Amino acid sequence: MYGWIWRHLPGNAWVRALISLVLVLALVYVLFQYVFPWAEPLLPFNDVTVDNGTAVNK
Amino acid sequence: MRPRTVVRTLSELCVTTGTLLVLFVVYVLYWTGVRADSAMDRELSRLQDRWSSGAAATAGPSGAPVPGEQQGEPPGERPGEQPGVSPEDPGDAARPPDRPAAPSAQAAPPSRPLPGSGSGQGAPGRQQAAPARPGEAFAVMYIPRFGAGWAKPVLQGTGTELLKKGLGHYERTALPGETGNFAVAGHRRTYGDPFKDLDELRPGDAVVVGDGTTWFTYRVDARPYRTRPDDTGVIDPVPAGSGFRGPGRYLTLTTCEPEWGHSHRLIVWAHLDATSPAAQGRPGALPG
């Protein structure tokens, strides 16, 4: 998978390394900005009220 | 060649999954805190700005009928050792939302007599500048037990998004200093960990709330109480299970229990011990 990506990047090794770095950073940004905020409420750390429990259970 | 590709792809998938998990843990443990801290700082400075611009108008005039130090609620309000005799039976905790919401409460001093309190001092007849809009910060809470620098904004409402920016005030409950129950929820873990140490509060600990015009010093009455997530009686005007017997000016803090779970809730109750005008400076319960 990573070898396939590497082979399809343009330029010499330095350019490819730079592009890879940019890709990784973009991926991390997307994860932190969009994916993780969506996934985090699925974990139980948000249930701190007593009445929300009622709303969910009933 | 073929098995080699399969094995390599599998390994890469494993490494990728591991990296994603590590990143997610970093996000939950660290990044939510970074975001929440900056959001809370923003809310705090917004509050300070509003108070410094508007407080001059509200706090300055001598007409602001803020009673001076009103020390010590009568002992009748302290929780007895036997909470079982409480008039509010925890059994009917799931009653419909008929509890007297207090939308107009700051305009109306307690219309009922206070049999339990016996203190003829009406509610602090102070005028709140404006009832806080949902999602808006309206007070700052200090809990010296959590550290001298611990100060968090209190926002109106308890929505998930809102709790990322500060503590949340249950909208149906009383405002600070009012007769009734000023109930506040906060994260135990993640999003700045505001109530991480809630289980360390002990009787006598101060919880100070400032709304720009008045400081309210509450005192914790009992050790933290663990209850079910649907036990809404704990934020009633006279909280069920608290041991408080009659109407009074109470404070309830709620968060999740256990620390990283959601099977229960941790509750801390306090009663109003003293109020002082903001103009007099920070109350004695606060260090510095």
Residue B252, pLDDT > 60, answer yes
Note whether B239 and B233 are within 8 A (CB): yes
* C-beta atoms of B256 and A28 within 8 A: no
Q: A10-42 as b/e, with b when 16 or more CB fall inside 10 Å?
A: eeeeeebeeeeeeeeeeeeeebbeeebeeebee
Q: Does B189 touch chain A (CB under 8 A)?
A: yes
Tell me how far the alpha carbon of residue B11 is from its chain's centroid: 48
pLDDT of residue B130: 57
pLDDT tens-digit map of B45-81: 999 999 988 754 444 333 333 344 444 444 444 444 4
Note whether B173 and B185 are within 8 A (CB): no
Q: What is the ipTM of this complex?
A: 0.86
Nearest CA in chain B to A41: B160
> How far is A25 from B255, CA to CA, in rounded Å?
35
Task: For residue A50, give both structure tokens.
Answer: 């007593």
* C-beta atoms of A53 and B265 within 8 A: yes
Nearest CA in chain A to B256: A48
* C-beta atoms of A48 and B170 within 8 A: no
Q: Does B164 touch chain A (CB under 8 A)?
A: no
Domain-wise residue ranges, chain A: 2-43
* C-beta atoms of A51 and B158 within 8 A: yes
Q: Which chain A positions have a beta carbon within 8 Å of B255's beta carbon?
A: 48
- Read off the pLDDT band of B284 (50, 70, 90): confident
Cβ of B64: how many Cβ atoms within 10 Å?
Answer: 17
Residue A55, pLDDT > 60, answer no
Nearest CA in chain A to B94: A54
More reliable by pLDDT, B216 or B89 = B216
Non-local (6+) Cβ contacts of A10 within 8 A are A16, A19
* C-beta atoms of A31 and B168 within 8 A: no
- Ordered structural domains, chain B, with CATH: 2-59+71-88+128-280 (2.40.260.10)
In chain B, the largest separation of any two C-alpha atoms, in whole Å, equals 90
* C-beta atoms of B254 and A50 within 8 A: yes
> DSSP 3-state assignment of A12?
coil
Residue B248, pLDDT > 60, answer yes
Q: Does B256 touch chain A (CB under 8 A)?
A: yes
- For β-strands B137-142 and B151-156, DSSP reports them as antiparallel
> DSSP 3-state assignment of A50?
coil
Q: Which chain A positions have a beta carbon within 8 Å of B193's beta carbon?
A: none
Interface test with B, best of A28, A31, A50 (most B CBs within 10 A): A50
Pick from B9, B190, B232: CB nearest A45: B190
Task: For residue B125, give both structure tokens.
Answer: 């007849």
B259-278 residues touching A, CB cutoff 8 A: 260-262, 265, 267
pLDDT of residue A25: 97
Q: What is the DSSP string of chain B?
A: -HHHHHHHHHHHHHHHHHHHHHHHHHIIIIIHHHHHHHHHHHHHHHHHHHHHHHHHHHHSSTT-----------GGGSPPS-GGG-SS-GGGTT--S-S---TTTTTS--SS--TTT-----S--PPPSSPPPTT-EEEEEE-GGG-TT-EEEEEES--TTGGGSSEEE-TTSPPTTSSEEEEEE--SSSTT-TTTTGGG--TT-EEEEE-SSEEEEEEE-SS-EEE-TT-GGGGSSS-TTS---S--EEEEEEEEESTT--SEEEEEEEEEEEEEEGGG-S-TTS--
* C-beta atoms of A53 and B255 within 8 A: no
* C-beta atoms of A53 and B170 within 8 A: no
pLDDT tens-digit map of B177-196: 999 999 999 999 999 999 99
* C-beta atoms of B232 and A50 within 8 A: yes
Non-local (6+) Cβ contacts of B146 within 8 A are B196, B197, B200
- Read off the pLDDT band of B1 (50, 70, 90): low
